[in-house]
A and B are shown apart, each in its own frame.
Chain A
């Protein structure tokens, strides 16, 4: 039996609302769903960013004078949860994946368009529910990790809403993962071999494997946790004979791969952007593919390096240290391949390129501190200090969010048909880069000198460095302003982009900007080499 895709039936333009209204409709078009993911994620980024600013304002002085301590804990928890589950994961997977993957495999839509729409529409209600829990009875206070027994003993209705919300978001992410795996493996147009796929497809395949294998474990764990809270069972409650370390194992079995669920798509996106703006083919395609799969396999077996201070036995520490250190190998391969891609290229300095280069710099720094953290003695010294906060934000903000902005600058002409203004974009990059490093680099020092994380009050000796960090956070918050102005002005009266403003060779640029509902007029084009930029340089263009 065959399935018939009839875009005129599913996406009949005369039935769908026109203009911006169609982004509020239950559309099955993968491009509309991708934009819905991006805009929804960005709104939650603004909420999460406001919460982050509140945290940094509180920490500008040693006493808890800006907000009460329990409110601080709620703000901290909401900030972490929103940024991970409602901004980064949905955007790097859902938004760019939905927009680009069908183009890259030569399809007219995702494999399961309806499942795709369901996966998106789970996000806004559960996100709103999470934010609204603050106004009901106080939001969850136990941090984004929700470690028991803290999550069992703090006020409970907020924690239950938190669990429900994360379960729904996990479901959304599993549905998305199933869709991506089916689209990439099964929906490729005839003749398109796996090793000819653009890099982002490989990254999304690896990410989706991680999603499908690890997210259900988190779901099961949170169900058990909710039983502990509602029904007074003792799975994770030491008073009733439970074991909190089991929660940590199960939680990190998801949440360590979650780092790769956030970063692997960013790896894929940067591999698409660098060759275009350096006019050179991606260096070492095959090694890039195998390093992604290596990261997927290793990423699943290193979770306990988050638990070196949880009483893990020495053999376990040794195994997880070695396995974690090994991840540096495929990651290093990718880093050197990006540098080699830039080497000798005709680099154009534009916003997309700048954000990508910023990503490479930040990511190397975060990666090095990550290898340091994998070493048991060092980890025991800086565990639960600001060093971990700094490392994590270097990976997740300096890595992923920089790439999200880079991708927005790169694909904005394709999506809207208008160019973004370069001057505002470069201003956005400069403020973001300075603000980011000013905010998080000093936190390494704070951590090494023993300032604990997740506290509203601290020793006055740390005040000066914290104020520098808060200043950086303020700059990061302000950096959003030129970006928003840029998007508004460019959509209103930006320069027309044309079909292929960057002269890129990947398939999405072969159609008109913005693309028609069925992606292509007539037959989908077959791109033999998505990275065949070498000819231009040898011909001296």
Chain B
């Protein structure tokens, strides 16, 4: 309980930054809206102090209840709403952000006891749709430059693993952010944001109304106290469902891992793989109730081999906590009679 209270305080503090942003720094709306690819992150003016990640006016930090894991990177998330505009709530779903809005996410690891910024990804809402661009920080941490082809950067993860961290290229952004052929945000769904934050965002005039969320994704830090199912489904929602849903990159698999999906087969229970190839690892079903060791979902989460590892992009290492949450959920499912095996 005490831990929760502290977490709650931390959230309030983060939300408090809405009001505390230095007002002198202004975002460059033209850089967001005009055609072209700004070469430097600084061109946007998203930060009053970019190396310190202090946001400019109308740039609001947020967190997700359950976030997407990327080799344990610390992630600093911000949403920018231009002057005179508002985000619109769409029930429990993705916030509808106006043209001119931007989402900014910085990935950082610790190096020599200090935070090392590696990349800042921006999603820009232009008149012709969303554009995703990756910016790579220099070693001196003074500037971040556009890296359309991506990059690899040696980092040490919080788990102590030394990896060639992959900064995705511009196209790879779309692999996760593509929906029905269009680039789209994936993180800020109302169900994966706290009511406190949504309320403050609304109170600051940046959101038209506070959406009513009947079934929020739980806080990842609460995974041991919420049900195994809620923890795991929240994890799959945040880490997998942007691809594994109709209209997205992995739609042809027929696997739909969205939080709101309730059909057992669609979420993988006794579902045969379709195009998994060797990723299936000699297993027959995505999920075998009661048998995490027999479930392809677990096998692919536990692998780091390209061609086997899921997600395909955005990780070089295994998310042990996420894996454990999914294993625990599958283990709690009542075992069913084995289906007829392949002939």
Q: Are A and B part of the same complex?
A: no
